[in-house]
């Protein structure tokens, strides 16, 4: 790779980082001890001991990376701010990472983390990792490192809110014991309590991100000859203000885009947002049943230079609305997404390949028409206000039920983004639910299937006899 970079004259503009996301593993018959991959460190992949979480980071970049070594603990969260600084771009202010660019350039003053925190919620287990954890590899676990102190603790129940006195806590002095072979919690109980408190404060139940860069909002459908609204935002999610912010929109050739709000700002404060909207009209002769791309581009002067953030969105010109009573499997959809393989017409979802599912059936009764999906799924059809009623039978189908009884989904029907129906939880035991809805005036009909038990396994769901009556 380095030879190729040099051959193309790119080595002065490139930084190569080589690292891993975990210590040595034993999947697929690999022997992690063959070359002593973790050296004197304790643990393997999935362990929170140093052998499971501490790996080398090798950096190469002529003119940008100085020769040398460092003992600075550098988590992978540092990669984004490091590359951003090297590339002269602002970094999001809501990430835990710190730039290591000064360190790569040879400075000894690169910012260091006050502590590092890890959390593990893992059902998978391998024999070596389980042995290192003293047969606790499937327990909840978390760890924190502060300077040369390392605390690891295990919860006998899968509940992060378990009281601290229920956890099994270990403490190690990495300066004297890098292999974490001597648990010193009894001799340094106060330090152990301090690090446990640090673990608690490091945990977040949710971590909503601050917006950064450009986002584009547009409708699902673009009717030829009719105007629709497109909105773009440019968010300064960095810690420093930007100047001369501009939003611009590129539409397909022949489409018109008329601004309906200002699209510039002299200053964009840290955390600030610029919003602009356009009325976009596709020509009356625009091809139907086609997906079109629109691009919004936000630019601004950051302290490091001019930055550019493009965002692409798609909108579909609809297929013709149905002119007679029709099964949905005989119509062209606007869009279709599916959690496992493609959406199937007139068969169960089956496995990941197209056309590999059997006929749709519930409780041994077979249905010749319908749609086979797997959660999460979202299918949109253009009714063009021509529909009267939508009917179907929706549920976990026999293909899924014969494999396992654990599948659980919930089906929803939307008319122009208005929720028309939410089913109870669907399982193999409950059987299917009959759907009969008034869809008069609905232009876009959406059939949605969501996971209902946070497992996303065996969630094959079918819309048997999915049918629209028109008039």
Q: Tell me, what's the pLDDT at 411?
A: 98
Tell me where in the chain the CATH 3.30.1120 domain(s) lie: 118-202
> Is the confidence at residue 288, as pLDDT, over 90?
yes
Q: Tell me, what's the pLDDT at 456?
A: 80
Tell me where in the chain the CATH 2.60.120.1060 domain(s) lie: 326-470
Q: Tell me, what's the pLDDT at 315?
A: 95
Tell me where in the chain the CATH 2.60.40.10 domain(s) lie: 213-317
Which CATH code for domain 213-317?
Answer: 2.60.40.10
> Is the confidence at residue 43, as pLDDT, over 90?
yes
Q: Tell me, what's the pLDDT at 122?
A: 86
Q: Tell me, what's the pLDDT at 351?
A: 86
> Is the confidence at residue 204, as pLDDT, over 80?
yes
Q: Provide the whole-model pTM.
A: 0.81
- CATH fold of the domain at 326-470: Jelly Rolls (2.60.120)
Q: What is the mean pLDDT of residues 300-307?
A: 96
Closest CA to 195 of 143, 246, 156: 143
* Domain 118-202 in this protein, CATH class: alpha beta
Q: Could you say which DSSP state residue 285 is in? A: T
pLDDT single digits (tens) 58-79: 999 998 899 999 999 999 999 9
pLDDT single digits (tens) 233-248: 999 999 999 999 999 9
Regarding beta strands 433-438 and 213-217, do their DSSP bridges make them parallel or antiparallel, or are they unpaired?
A: unpaired
Q: What is the mean pLDDT of residues 281-290?
A: 96
Please report which confidence band the pLDDT of residue 28 belongs to, taking 50, 70 and 90 as the band edges.
Answer: confident
Q: Would you say 420 and 413 are in contact if contact means Cβ atoms under 8 Å apart?
A: yes
> Is the confidence at residue 109, as pLDDT, over 80?
no
The answer for residues whose C-beta is within 8 angstroms of residue 296's C-beta and 6 or more apart is 214, 215, 216, 230, 232, 247, 248, 249, 250, 310, 311, 313
Closest CA to 15 of 57, 56, 61, 65: 61
Q: Mean of the per-residue pLDDT values for the chain?
A: 95
Q: Tell me, what's the pLDDT at 417?
A: 86
């Amino acid at each position: 790779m380095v030879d190729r970079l040099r051959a193309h004259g790119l080595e002065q503009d490139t930084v190569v980082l080589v690292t891993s996301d975990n210590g040595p593993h034993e999947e697929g018959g690999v022997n992690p001890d063959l070359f002593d991959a973790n050296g004197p460190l304790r643990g393997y992949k999935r362990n929170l001991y140093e052998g499971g979480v501490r790996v080398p980071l090798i950096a190469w970049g002529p003119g940008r990376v100085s020769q040398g070594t460092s003992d600075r603990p550098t988590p992978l969260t540092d990669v984004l701010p490091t590359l951003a600084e090297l590339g002269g771009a602002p970094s999001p202010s809501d990430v835990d990472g710190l730039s290591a660019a000064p360190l790569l350039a040879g400075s000894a003053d690169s910012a260091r983390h006050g502590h590092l925190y890890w959390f593990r919620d893992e059902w998978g287990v391998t024999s070596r990792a389980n042995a290192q954890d003293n047969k606790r590899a499937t327990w909840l676990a978390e760890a924190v490192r502060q300077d040369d102190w390392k605390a690891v603790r295990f919860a006998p129940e899968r509940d992060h809110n378990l009281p601290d006195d229920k956890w099994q806590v270990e403490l190690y002095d990495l300066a004297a014991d890098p292999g974490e072979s001597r648990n010193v919690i009894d001799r340094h109980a106060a330090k152990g309590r301090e690090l446990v408190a640090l673990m608690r404060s490091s945990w977040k139940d949710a971590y909503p991100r601050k917006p950064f860069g450009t986002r584009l909002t547009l409708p699902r459908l673009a009717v030829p000859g009719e105007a629709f609204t497109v909105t773009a935002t440019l968010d300064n999610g960095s810690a420093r203000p930007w100047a001369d912010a501009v939003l611009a929109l590129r539409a397909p050739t022949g489409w018109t885009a008329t601004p309906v709000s200002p699209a510039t700002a002299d200053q964009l404060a840290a955390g600030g947002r610029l919003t602009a909207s356009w009325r976009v009209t596709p020509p009356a002769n625009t091809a139907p049943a086609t997906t079109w791309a629109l691009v919004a581009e936000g630019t601004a002067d950051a302290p490091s230079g001019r930055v550019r953030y493009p965002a692409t969105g798609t909108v579909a010109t609809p297929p013709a609305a149905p002119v007679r009573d029709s099964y949905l499997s005989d119509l062209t959809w606007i869009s279709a997404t599916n959690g496992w393989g493609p959406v199937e017409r007139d068969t169960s979802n089956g496995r990941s390949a197209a056309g590999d599912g059997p006929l749709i059936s519930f409780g041994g009764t077979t249905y010749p028409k319908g749609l086979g999906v797997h959660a999460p799924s979202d299918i949109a059809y253009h009714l063009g206000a021509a529909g009267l009623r939508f009917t179907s039978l929706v549920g976990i189908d026999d293909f899924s039920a014969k494999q396992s009884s654990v599948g659980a989904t919930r089906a929803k029907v939307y008319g122009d983004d208005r929720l028309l129906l939410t089913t109870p939880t669907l399982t193999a035991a409950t059987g299917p639910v009959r759907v009969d809805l008034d869809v008069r005036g609905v232009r876009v009909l959406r059939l949605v299937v969501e996971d209902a038990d946070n497992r996303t396994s065996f969630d094959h769901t079918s819309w048997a006899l999915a049918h629209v009556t028109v008039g």
